[in-house]
Amino acid sequence: MPVIVVMEDDADIRTLMVHLLTHEGYEVLAAGNGSEGLQLVESHHPDLIISDVQMPGMTGFQVLDSVRQSPALAATPVILLTALQDRVHVRHGMTAGADDYITKPFEPSELTLAVDAQLTRSAGQSARQDEAVTTAVKVALERLYEKRLVQELGDGWPAAEGSASDETFAHATVLFVDMANYSALTEQLSGAELSELVKTFYGSAGDTVHLFGARHMQFVGEGLLAVFVESNDTQSVNHGLRASRAALGLIDSAQRMRHYLQSRFADRQLPQFQVSVALHSGPVVLARMEDPLNGAPTQILPVGDAVSATLLLQKQAQMLGWAIVASKTMLASVQDMVKTGRHAAVSLPGRLLPVEAAELLKIGV
């Protein structure tokens, strides 16, 4: 029986959650503040933690930080619960390592679906429960992320007219996601329908990547490239783990897109919508490209061996049939915090040496 620790200072809400989760068949341990809750976590090593953010004494963010800093607890899924609906707090929680975020007031089904989603991912259970993952993530994203990527970029990221110098990162993780059968879809969808597909998928994908703390992202062809680095607001979770969480979120987004297309175009035999994601770590430079006519900064271009290798690795992931391929270099940064599947020495076009890589399956072991 899965064990869940609930931390909530509001007695009525705490009682409600205990009742709901016990009725669903979980063993629930409850605490009225973060300090007591953390003691329960350390002594029982639960399968899932649900913590309110605003609690007297130890906040939910502090609980989350303590959990992620503990080698024995770091892989435990954490759902944050709060009345705060501001995106700054959402991003804070997600970049600090939260796995999901629920705002109060919430429907009982939202709580149970979110719990089922995290425990399903952790345990790798049946296809029926995989559908619960899709539903839970959809509910959370639609509830929390009401504005799309364009506004988020404008509100949350540094303006292009900032420093004119390049940014160099000795350690970074590059993520690249691309649609596996886009060419086949172009043969059966109109330009307007393709535009709808791309905007729908990459709108959700962009939210996911940004909320897990990407420093930069941009489109490359029909794909999306993101760079994760260490920064002041993401110190408790390294760039490799945040990129891994984002990659898993992108696979969830693709699953939702697959169901959407099946419903939207039920009268057509469309090829199955699939994406593949590559992760690789190494030095990255965010180069500011200037207009040769007037010298004004025009765009940021990620450059470096890690970038080019990630783009090539993603193409090989499609050939291998892996949803997420992670290089050995990237996996070294997350150590025992992720579970991998098949391993292979992947040959990359134009390169002499293959890249040791593995199929990334989930967070935790």
Res. 66 pLDDT band, cuts 50 70 90: very high
What's the pLDDT at 295?
Answer: 59
Q: Which CATH class is domain 3-127?
A: alpha beta
Helices first, then strands: H and E counts in the chain: 12, 13
Q: Would you list the domain boundaries of the chain?
A: 3-127, 167-363
Q: What confidence tier does 345 reach under pLDDT thresholds 50, 70, 90?
A: very high
Cis status of the peptide bond prior to 105, with omega within 30 of 0: yes
> What pLDDT does residue 241 have?
86
Q: How is 141-178 classified by DSSP, letter by letter?
A: HHHH--S-HHHHHHHHS--TTS--S-EEEEEEEEEEEE
Fold of 167-363: Alpha-Beta Plaits (3.30.70)
Beta carbons of 348 and 312 less than 8 angstroms apart: yes
Residue from 98, 64, 59, 56 nearest 79 by CA: 98
Q: What is the pLDDT of residue 253?
A: 85
The answer to whether the CB of 123 falls within 8 A of the CB of 3 is no
Q: What is the pLDDT of residue 153?
A: 42
Give, for 51, the enclosing helix (H) or strand (E).
strand 48-52
Per-residue pLDDT tens over the stretch 283-298? 999 998 876 666 555 6
User: In this predicted model, which residue has the larger pLDDT, 86 or 193?
Assistant: 193
Helices 60-69 and 87-95, axial angle in degrees (round to 10): 20
Read off the DSSP letter of residue 189: S
Burial of 299 (0-12, 13-18, 19+ CB in 10 A): exposed
Asked if the model's pLDDT at residue 237 lies above 50, the reply is yes
Instruction: Average the pLDDT over each of 21-35, 81-95, 210-224 and give the range with the smallest value.
Output: 81-95
Q: Is the pLDDT of residue 44 over 50?
A: yes
Give the residue from 227, 340, 180, 318 showing the smallest Cα distance to 327: 340
Cα separation, 129 vs 125, whole angstroms:
6
How sure is the predictor about 19, in pLDDT bands with cuts at 50, 70 and 90?
Answer: very high
First to last CA, the chain: 18
Is a pLDDT exceeding 70 seen at residue 274?
yes
Cα(196)–Cα(199) distance, integer angstroms: 5
The predicted structure's pLDDT at residue 294: 63
Please provide the size of the chain in residues: 365
The pLDDT > 90 percentage for the chain reads 42
- List the structure tokens of 71: 């080698």
Can you spell out the DSSP letters for 4-46? EEEE-S-HHHHHHHHHHHHHTT-EEEEESSHHHHHHHHHHH--
| CA distance to 19, 183, 254, per residue, from 180 (Å) | 44, 8, 11
Residue 279 has pLDDT above 80, yes or no: yes
pLDDT band for position 230 (50/70/90)?
A: confident
Residue 360, strand partner residues: 340
**Tokens of residue 286, six digits:** 């965010």
Tens of pLDDT, residue by residue over 168-218, are 999 999 999 999 888 889 999 999 999 989 988 888 888 788 878 888 999
Statement: residue 159 has pLDDT above 70: no
Among the residue ranges 41-45, 50-54, 94-98, the one predicted with the least confidence is: 94-98
> With bands split at pLDDT 50, 70 and 90, how would you rate the model's confidence at 144?
very low
pLDDT in tens, 305-336: 999 999 999 998 888 889 999 999 999 988 77
Which has the minimum average pLDDT: 68-72, 73-77, 202-206, 345-349?
A: 202-206
Amino acid at 144: L
At 150 the pLDDT is 40
The Cα 361–Cα 365 span in angstroms is: 10
Rounded distance, CA 291 to CA 289, Å? 7
How many percent of the chain have pLDDT more than 70? 79
Asked if pLDDT for residue 160 goes beyond 60, the answer is no
pLDDT in tens, 91-141: 666 666 778 777 777 778 878 888 887 887 666 533 444 454 445 445 444
Backbone angles phi, psi at 217, to 5 degrees: -150, 155
Q: How far, in Å, CA of 153 to CA of 109, rounded?
A: 31
- Give dist(CA 250, CA 244) in Å, integer: 10
- Mind giving me the DSSP string for 196-257? HHHHHHHHHHHHHHHHTT-SEEEEETTEEEEEEE--GGGTTS-HHHHHHHHHHHHHHHHHHH
